[in-house]
Amino acid sequence: MILFQVNEPDVSAELFENEVLAINLSSGHYHSMRFSAVPFWLMISNGYTTDAAIAEIAKYYGIEESIIKEDFYSFLNELIKSQLLKERNSEMVQEIADFQTFCAGKYEKPLLENYMDMKDLILLDPIHEVDIIGWPNKIKTDKES
């Protein structure tokens, strides 16, 4: 079972009120997570297994795991596709996620809203990280390529 962590340093994520705000500095996209996405994110990004997170959510909402399982596997795929999560460093221990208060009320499917039109906010003079071996060549312009 793969464990995950926030895809730092590319991604900054923060729980604010009832929403998780995740900003992917690499893609220039921003993502908003709401409803049952919040407790799931809190657990999965802190090293819970996917099944354990689903079981906790089912328990707190008082519904069958089998009913919601598909929702969260599909949600997890979206998180991975958006590069918000990466495989957890094996040296990291699981942290306790304070997710319970976000499982209140009627169950609603995890919601991930993606905002892709943020490119105009990105620095005019972008800087890319490389290692010392891979010192890059000049980026080719359309004319040069």
Partner 1 sequence: MSSVESLQFFFYEMKLSFQNAANSKCERQTLDFSIAERIVRIHLAGNGLSTIIFPAIKHLQVYQINQPELEIFIWDEKSTGIPMPNPPWDGSQMNGNAKFVFPHPEMFQINISGNREFITIGNLSANQIIIWIRDVTNTMNHDYAAPLLHIFKKWVINYGLGIVHAGCVGNEQSAVLIVGKGGSGKSTTSILSALNGLYYLSDDYTLLKFDKKPIAYCLYNTGKLHSAQLTRFPQLAKLAINPNPQLNEKPIIYMQQHFPGQIAKKRNLEAIIAPVVTGKSESRLVQLSALDTLKSLALSTLLQLGSEDKLFLKKMAGVAKNLPGYRLELGTDTSQITPLITQLLNSY
| Distance in angstroms (rounded) separating the CA atoms of residues 26 and 11 | 8
Query: Contact region for partner 1 (CB under 8 A) — 41-49, 86-94, 99-107, 134-142?
Result: 134-142
Which pair of structure tokens corresponds to residue 80? 């991975």
Alpha carbon 137 to chain centroid distance?
A: 32
Of 126, 142, 144, 145, the residue at the interface with partner 1 (CB under 8 A) is 126
Bridge pairing between strands 111-115 and 85-87: unpaired
Bridge pairing between strands 19-24 and 11-16: antiparallel
In the complex, least distance from residue 48 CB atom to partner 1, rounded to whole angstroms: 21
Helical (H) or strand (E) element with 67:
helix 65-81
Listed in order, strand segments (DSSP E) in 70-110 are: 85-87
In the complex, least distance from residue 128 CB atom to partner 1, rounded to whole angstroms: 6
Q: Which of residues 4-23 bind partner 1 (CB under 8 A)?
A: 8-9, 12-14, 16-17, 19, 21, 23
In the complex, least distance from residue 130 CB atom to partner 1, rounded to whole angstroms: 5
Chain positions contacting partner 1, by CB under 8 A: 8-9, 12-14, 16-17, 19, 21, 23, 25, 28, 30, 118, 120-132, 135-139
